[in-house]
């Protein structure tokens, strides 16, 4: 996989991961049990798959995508859930 694709893969995977983790935290804080259950399932699945991919790479592009994706994912999920749930 090329550097750009590596970056994009890790950016997208980590953005999704942090978006789901943020969704999960907000569900916990607001006692939204169905959302909590669903986001827990997704967190576990993504985490399991990401561990395998991270262990296989030592690319700086992967690291950059992983770090930036996480930041973008949490900001985006906070913005979305704030608009959906109003809190």
Question: Is the pLDDT reported for residue 58 higher than 90?
Answer: no
pLDDT in tens, 23-32: 999 999 999 9
Mean pLDDT of 34-60: 93
| Per-residue confidence (pLDDT) for residue 64, from 0 to 100 | 95
The full set of domain ranges for the chain reads 3-85
Of 74, 16, 80, whose CA–CA distance to 45 is shortest?
Answer: 16
**pTM for the full model?**
0.86
């Amino acid at each position: 996989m090329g550097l750009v694709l590596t970056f994009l893969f890790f950016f997208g995977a980590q953005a999704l991961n942090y978006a789901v983790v943020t969704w999960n935290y907000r569900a916990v804080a607001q006692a939204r049990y169905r959302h909590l259950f669903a986001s827990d399932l997704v967190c576990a699945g993504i985490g399991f798959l990401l561990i395998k991919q991270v262990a296989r790479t030592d690319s700086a592009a992967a690291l950059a995508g992983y770090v930036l994706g996480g930041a973008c994912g949490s900001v985006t999920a906070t913005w979305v859930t704030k608009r959906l749930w109003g809190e």
